[in-house]
Amino acid sequence: MSERLPRSLAQRLFASAVLWSVLVLLIAGLILSSLYRRSAETAFDERLGVYLRAIVADVATPGDDTRTEPGQLGDPQFELSLSGWYWQITPLSQQSAKVKASRSLFASRLPRLADQGVKAELGEYRRGYAQGPDGRWIRLVERVIETDEEGKFLIQVAAATDQLESDIHRFEYSLAGTFLLLALALGASTMVQVRFGLSPLRRLQSEVTAIRRGEGDRIEGAFPPDLAPLAGELNLLISSNREIVERARTQVGNLAHALKTPLSVITNEAEADPSPLSGKVREQAQVMRDQVNYYLDKARAAARSNVVGNTTDVVAATEQLVRTFQKIYRDGVPTFDMQFDGDLRFRGEEQDFQDMVGNLLDNAGKWASSKVLVSLSLEAGPAGSGQDFLILCVDDDGPGLPPEDRDQALKRGRRLDETKPGSGLGLSIVGDLAAVYAGDFTLEDGVLGGLRARLRLPAA
């Protein structure tokens, strides 16, 4: 299972801002919806309360001749069967007394909120929901009154909640649409804010990338107070790195001079003496000279590889080497051909790149029958690493090399065929330099029938 890559700062900021915005809008929407429902229910209850008070007045003043009968409210909805608007007067003191109700109830009866556990409010009012006679939900308002002559009565007025719920749902849909548009606007503004806020970081990244590619030597420009110290520290780090490398190069040069001079004296003295001992001294002195050159070159490469901003034009450097080897093999055997894709750059010193490619071309030229092919391409690195790799392959049409001998050929000083000139250090130098730059070097079967030397290096 591949490890999950961490999210970028922009993604984290955008996701957290959107999450909190959606959460706040959701809570605000729920609160507004609840407040609107409560307000709508209050207004609906006020309308029912008007009818309730009218009926209470009719019941409490039976001697008033202004109405022919309690409950004549002048609203035709109370006269239509199962219209959803109902009133009911239930005597509580006289069990045998007749219950009076609106014609809309059509011989049905309204449920009692007191039986459902609804507590009475100030003034003995009860308000709540119940299931009506036709199965629809109704909003019910009831009150118990007591008259001097006829005793207690339960007065109820109810209405279906279809219109109430329709109004509430219409408000909720409008609210959801409005908040959705607001959420989209907030998301867009958050994206703009994140991009604007992180633009100095992207500029800092481009400055560091330019240094890594060799297009600059320090971070330039003014940065916000939050990033200015980081830019300054990076400049100091780059300067310190260069100073360390320069000191290392100086020490390596001093060491080379200090060792080569005594070796030259020993070699010159031995050449003046024809004895077998002097021959052995000359032989071992040459071995020492080769070893000193090898390790000094390796130390120089290690120092150069740590310098920030060193890059090499791969195509130009390779073409120069190919032209050089074509001049060495003036008879045209073998021929050297190149294949490459676009503009390629190596993140390292040009001298080290030339050393690696030069050794590979020299080795291929020795063993090729008629042709050497050099191919250059770019290989994408692991996802999220931000590092691509340069692939350089040198193929020849020679006899090749068995797989079991390829590891031996990469060992320092190992020569599989003593008939060919060389010191046995060329391929090992290539492998060591590739390792210094965190690359790799392998020997494979070639496309021309011979051996392929495959070099993988970091690209700039």
The 10s digit of each residue's pLDDT in 274-326 is 777 777 877 787 777 777 776 666 666 655 555 555 778 899 999 999 998 88
Write down which residue in 122, 147, 166 finishes a domain: 166
Tens of pLDDT, residue by residue over 151-170, are: 888 899 999 999 889 999 99
Q: Tell me, yes or no, whether 221 lies in a domain.
A: no
- Specify whether 137 is located in the same domain as 252: no
Tens of pLDDT, residue by residue over 257-272, are: 677 777 777 777 777 7
- Specify whether 155 is located in the same domain as 263: no
Tens of pLDDT, residue by residue over 86-99, are: 999 988 877 667 88
- Specify whether 81 is located in the same domain as 56: yes
- Specify whether 30 is located in the same domain as 106: yes
Grouping H, G, I as helix, E, B as strand and the rest as coil, residue 351 is: helix
Strands 345-346 and 312-313: antiparallel
- Specify whether 327 is located in the same domain as 453: yes
Question: What per-residue confidence (pLDDT) applies to 352?
Answer: 85
CA distance 291 to 284: 10
The amino acid present at 319, given as its one-letter code, is E
Q: Tell me, yes or no, whether 156 lies in a domain.
A: yes
- Specify whether 399 is located in the same domain as 449: yes
CATH number at residue 82: 3.30.450
155, 160, 163, 165 alpha-carbon torsion, rounded to 10°? 100
Q: Tell me, yes or no, whether 174 lies in a domain.
A: no
Q: Tell me, yes or no, whether 127 lies in a domain.
A: yes
- Specify whether 23 is located in the same domain as 160: yes
Query: pTM (2 decimals)?
Result: 0.50
Q: Tell me, yes or no, whether 326 lies in a domain.
A: yes
- Specify whether 134 is located in the same domain as 110: yes
CATH number at residue 417: 3.30.565.10
Find the helix packing angle between 350-367 and 314-328, rounded to 10°.
Answer: 40
Kindly tell me if the per-residue pLDDT of 401 is higher than 60.
Answer: yes
Tens of pLDDT, residue by residue over 227-258, are: 888 888 888 888 877 777 677 767 766 676 67
**Span of 8-12, 329-333, 415-419 with lowest mean pLDDT:** 415-419
Q: Tell me, yes or no, whether 176 lies in a domain.
A: no
Q: Tell me, yes or no, whether 142 lies in a domain.
A: yes
- Specify whether 118 is located in the same domain as 246: no
- Specify whether 328 is located in the same domain as 271: no
- Specify whether 54 is located in the same domain as 157: yes
Residues 290 and 297: beta-carbon distance below 8 Å: no
Q: Which residue has the tokens 């003034």?
A: 123
- Range(s) of the domain holding residue 432: 312-458
Kindly tell me if the per-residue pLDDT of 1 is higher than 50.
Answer: no
In terms of phi and psi (left: phi > 0; alpha: psi -120 to 50; beta: otherwise), the region of 2 is beta
Give which of 144, 158, 128, 123 is closest to 59, Cα–Cα: 144
- Specify whether 115 is located in the same domain as 241: no
Residues 86 and 71: beta-carbon distance below 8 Å: no
Domains: count for the chain: 3
